[in-house]
Amino acid sequence: MVNVDSLLPLSAFGVYCHAVFISITLGFPPAIMALLFKYMKTKDEEYFRTAKTMTWVLSLNFALGAITGTLVEFGLVQAWPGTIIAIASFAFVPLALELLAFANEIAFLVLFIVTLGKIRTSRSIAILAVYWIFAVLSGVLITAVNSWLVAPWGTGEVPSALYPFMPDFGENSVDVQKLVAIKIIALASGLPLQAIIQNPEVAEKVGVILEDPYVALYNPYAAASAFHNISAAVLVGLSIALLAFSVGWQKKKEERFLKAVRVVSPLVLVVFLIQPTVFGHLMGESVVGYNPTKFAMMEGAHQTLYSPLLSFVAYGDPNRPIPGFDELKKRCEEHGGKRLDDLALSVGLDRDAIIGIAGSLGVNLDRSRTEEVLDTKLRDLCLSDLSRAEEKTEILHYAYYTKIFFGILGFLSAIALFAALRTVPVLSKVVKGILGERAVFLLSVGIMLGSTVPSALGWYVREVGRKPWTVYGLLYPDELVSVFEPARSGGFALFMALVIASVVFSGLLAMYIVATRGRKSEELSGGDEND
Amino acid sequence: MTELPFIILGFAVLLHVVFVSITIGTGWISAYSRLMAYLKKDSELERVSRSAFRILVVFELFSGVWGTIITVVLAGFFPTLIALATNVLFAPLLIALISIMIRIPSIAAFWYTWGRIDPRVHSAIGLLMAISGFLIPFGFRTLFSEINSPTALGQFLSSGLADPFAAYLSGLFWVLYLHSIFASLSVGGFVVAYLMAEEGHEKGVRIGYRYGLGFLLLQIPVGAVHWILLGSRSQYIFEAITYGSFMPVLVLKVLAVLTLLSLGLKGYLEGKSVFAKYSAFLSLLAVFLGELMNDGSRYPFMVVITEGGIPISSFANFYIEIPMAAVYVILGFLLLSILVFLSALFYALFRRFLSEPI
């Protein structure tokens, strides 16, 4: 088996770095629009200046988001080229549509930056709104691609044929025979998929593997993920802005900071009221429905659980048990003595056919190894993969409940901040009485922690929760990794991690400088540098 | 059905190459002028540096977007090619990727530290920005040279293995790379000359012309060597552009270069700023035509091997029936993005919105 131990953390690191910038990309525009709207209504220049500073941070952030996005995208095709077959099939439509979102996103952002203050404020707000819509669309489409990895919609009963505890992933849109053949060839060759799909003419020989190229867009898991993830990113972006203003207010006691806090905090409250409750519940229902191993891991369910509250939240039925790994393992026993060979035969592939197909695709299979793979008992495969998932139960369980704890902290902080800034009977007095003058700052810290920690841990749960597979129930990471051996070395991962860390650190530092010394971004005038 | 994907890929590559020829060229001009401004205590050079940088800033992100579009188009429409390239050209593509990661933050750092840090350090950041710009095509141009005349790809196709740096053993790569860099510097010069002419900055116009003409004069012999090399290494392309369907493009390109040379010389020697506009346009036209020849003349092959090659269809996506409705919608919106960007460009450069104090 190919070792992917160093590449997986590197990819995760790259994605997390990208997520920092994505959050600002999605969260800052609503705050800027709100500030501009306030400026339009009050004519108070301080709102405009704050919006302007945020715009410069946003522009720099966009550049860094684009770099880290390129890194993630390139990382995907360069480090995990096996995913190219998914990009060319299931992910084709969402990724292609994402192009139009991305191109328009940058075009409208540039237009907004160069025209801000030169045209009517209402028009600037409209331009920024269009930019934000494209940014959200981009996020929705990328989330759809990721969601397909977590719940491979359109593969119907294929995953449950291997793992009986798996649900059906929609109506079958795939050519099962071809998918099974490719999977078995990859297993029997011991090589990643890239070794097959890089050979000229392979795509033509394999032919259509997916009947409905739009299938990733119909994925119910994608819909829940889009609401949940995008709103979480918006929340993180807004929380960063809120904390920045609160720190300014705490340190300098300048009224402009408090004004900005007053504008941003209602937005934070609104998103906090919906995100973890409505969207979080939708997401949870999707996990329950489509990721049985992840659900068991999240609940620490080595054994089947009986928890009326949890069951009511998950199923709306307090009497229904939460299936643990013991139950999932029982389902593996349903395979009886069936082997991979039987599965292949059920879709019309005998041993000679598989070796013949492999040869036509430019892959020479060793007959004895192929037979060894085909003799694999499906029950053993199922149990072995369940054990690999179960190994991560503890860490995932604690990550999930830590996320919940911080989410509650953020939720309460958002309500308390609202009360601290406005007059809410009883609550305002209580908050001010307990936290005093530092209420704005402390509650902003609470909001920041309550948005970023759950986001980071939520993503961890999402991604680690689908292990040992990269495409849930279908493909492992070592089947998708690069055939280029040095790319899988620890040295390469360390080198790339250092490059990424340097770039991200420099970027964050630059954003801090822009945010705290706003006028330094205005030096392309050709005038006095010290203006 | 491989024609439309090939055209879409070509469109994205052409747009990207035209934009990046501006950004790479202006990046160097800005960085070098900044350094010279400090060394010579010359405020006019500083102004040239700022103007060149303003052009770079406006174009950089949008040109980068088209780079991303190329990646997605390749992975979506030509999955086999990208699967092969990420193996055989892993090292060159990594060089390009790391360079991108250095390039954009260094642009931001150059911008935001202007006048706030030691000028020597600021100039060093500028040079880092400029050099990282040169290193991006140092990685990506291997893909272009490999599909014109395989070296690493040849090793792989014959033995199943390729040296990670084999693409750099190709003479064609080095000539193509030098040609691209000289073209970028020449375009950067003419574009700077144009902007400086609009701003009535005579010295800036002359500096821009000097870059434009100097690198055009270097580019011409390198272009000729490239053409000759194609004659021995990539006969199919050579024949297509010399006697075949792309001959008119070659003729147009030569005409564009000669006109550019004479206009540029006249503008420079006679100090006529009015020619700067036409020079900038012609320099971009020359880049467009050159890239069109380089990429389009391979049709119907994706990888040209001497007089034949591997057809585009061998690398195309047959895993799905390409949903044409989605493709047309995407093309429509991409065109919208170009229009919006051009509007922003107009405001930023010609209405000087970006240049005024905020």
Q: Which of B1, B86, B100 to mutate to test the interface with A (most CBs of A within 10 A)?
A: B86
* Residue B66 pLDDT: 83
Residue B354 lies in a domain: no
CA distance A265 to chain B (A): 27
Distance from CA of A517 to the nearest CA of B (A): 10
Give the pLDDT of residue B354.
54
Q: What pLDDT score was predicted for residue B352?
A: 59
A524/B354 CB distance under 8 A = yes
Contact B343 A104 (CB under 8 A): no
Distance CA A64, CA B64 (A): 12
What is the spatial distance between Cα B160 and Cα B357, in angstroms, rounded to a whole number? 59
Residue numbers of the domain that contains B275: 3-322
| pLDDT tens figures, A228-265 | 999 999 999 999 999 999 999 999 888 999 999 999 99
Cβ B80–A198 below 8 Å, yes or no? Answer: yes
Helix, strand and coil content of chain A, in percent to the nearest 5, comes to 75, 0, 20
Residues of B in contact with A78 (CB under 8 A): 86, 90, 93-94, 97
Q: What is the pLDDT of residue B357?
A: 31
**Maximum distance among all Cα pairs of chain B, rounded to whole angstroms:** 63
Q: Is position B152 within any domain?
A: yes
For residue A114, give the nearest of B320, B329, B347 by CB distance: B347
Residue B293 lies in a domain: yes
Q: How far out from the chain centre does Cα A207 lie? A: 31
Q: What is the pLDDT of residue A523?
A: 45
Query: Which positions in chain B touch A531 (Cβ < 8 Å)?
Result: 357
Q: Give pLDDT tens digits for B343-353.
A: 887 777 666 55
Closest partner residue to A111 (CB to CB) among B86, B100, B344 is: B344
Structure tokens at B183: 């073209």
Residue B344 resides in a domain: no
Q: How many domains does chain B have?
A: 1
In a domain, B352, yes or no: no
Query: Does residue B299 sit within a domain?
Result: yes
Cβ partners under 8 Å of residue B165, min gap 6: B91, B92
Q: pLDDT below 70 — which residues of chain B?
A: 1, 349-358
A353 vs B333: CA distance, rounded Å: 45
In whole angstroms, how far apart are CA B229 and each of B145, B232, B245, B247, B315?
11, 5, 19, 17, 26
**What ipTM describes this predicted complex?**
0.84
The answer to whether residue B334 is domain-embedded is no
Residue B276 lies in a domain: yes
CA R_g for chain A: 26
Smallest Cβ–Cβ distance between A499 and the set B86, B98, B112 belongs to B98
Low-confidence ranges of chain A (pLDDT < 70): 1, 517-531
Decide if A195 contacts A483 (C-beta within 8 A): yes
Chain A residue closest in CA terms to B340: A107
CB of B112 closer than 8 Å to CB of A521: yes
Looking at residue A524, its pLDDT comes to: 45
